């Protein structure tokens, strides 16, 4: 009889301990879910001001390892990579990229004299119907097509940037707003 009483006491203690342990686990999971939901709501709330502020759209581009601002864009719906260049008067495309978006100037179209870091080169003027950088859409944008040998990467110049509400380089990031 004594062993039955000891065994019953052990079972009661174990049962109580296990119930408390299970209750603690459930509470921890509930708190973790609540914290995750709160974090998600805070992240959503922090994104709201840009879109809620009178329809302002904003794109932030971090500086790359070379110190440049590289971004992806779309011209007439086709994807191209750009380096942002505030020293470029217009968008500058190399011939390979221009061909990807359907712009193929003839040799006789290369009439614009352009000064680059590598010297003077002839370029072909063109106009892009739509340029989209992260949802910032600008229509009817001046551009130049340069030979591949003169331009290794496409430049996002002032013909796009000047049509934005603002662009600013701060804290290692480029912020563009429309």
Confidence check: pLDDT of 13 > 60: no
Q: Is residue 45 located within the same domain as residue 63?
A: no
Q: Is residue 96 located within the same domain as residue 159?
A: yes
Give the residue numbers spanning the domain of 20: 1-53
CB 150 within 8 A of CB 90: no
Q: 53 or 81: whose pLDDT is higher?
A: 81
The reported pLDDT for the residue numbered 129 is: 96
Model confidence pLDDT, tens digit, residues 105-151: 999 999 999 988 778 999 999 999 999 999 999 999 999 999 999 99
H-type helices in the chain, by residue range?
Answer: 2-52, 95-100, 158-161
Q: Is residue 29 located within the same domain as residue 93?
A: no
Q: Is residue 45 located within the same domain as residue 73?
A: no
Q: Is residue 107 located within the same domain as residue 168?
A: yes
Q: What is the number of structural domains in the chain?
A: 2
Q: Is residue 101 located within the same domain as residue 35?
A: no
Q: How confident is the model at residue 40 (pLDDT cuts 50, 70, 90)?
A: very low
DSSP letter for each residue of 115-127: EETTEEEEEEEEE
pLDDT more than 90, % of the chain: 63
The reported pLDDT for the residue numbered 2 is: 64
Q: Which two tokens mark 19?
A: 């119930």
The reported pLDDT for the residue numbered 119 is: 86
Alpha carbons 57 and 122: distance in angstroms, whole number: 36
What is the pTM for the complete model shown?
0.68
Q: Is residue 81 located within the same domain as residue 114?
A: yes
Q: Region 79-99: what's the mean pLDDT?
A: 96
CB 118 within 8 A of CB 150: yes
Confidence check: pLDDT of 163 > 50: yes
The reported pLDDT for the residue numbered 53 is: 58
């Amino acid at each position: 009889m004594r062993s039955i009483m000891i065994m019953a006491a052990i079972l009661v203690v174990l049962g109580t301990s296990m119930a408390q342990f299970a209750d603690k686990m459930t509470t921890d999971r509930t708190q973790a879910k609540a914290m995750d939901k709160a974090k998600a709501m805070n992240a959503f709330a922090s994104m709201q001001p840009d879109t809620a502020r009178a329809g302002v759209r904003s794109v932030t581009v971090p500086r790359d390892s070379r110190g440049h601002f590289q971004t992806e864009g779309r011209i007439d719906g086709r994807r191209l990579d750009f380096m942002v260049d505030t020293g470029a008067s217009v968008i500058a495309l190399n011939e390979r990229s221009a061909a990807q978006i359907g712009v193929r100037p003839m040799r006789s179209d290369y009439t614009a004299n352009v000064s680059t870091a590598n010297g003077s080169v002839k370029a072909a003027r063109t106009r892009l119907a739509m340029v989209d950088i992260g949802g910032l859409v600008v229509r009817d944008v001046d551009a130049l097509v340069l030979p591949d040998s003169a331009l290794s990467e496409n430049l996002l110049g002032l013909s796009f940037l000047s049509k934005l509400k603002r662009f600013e380089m701060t804290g290692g990031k480029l912020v563009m707003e429309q």
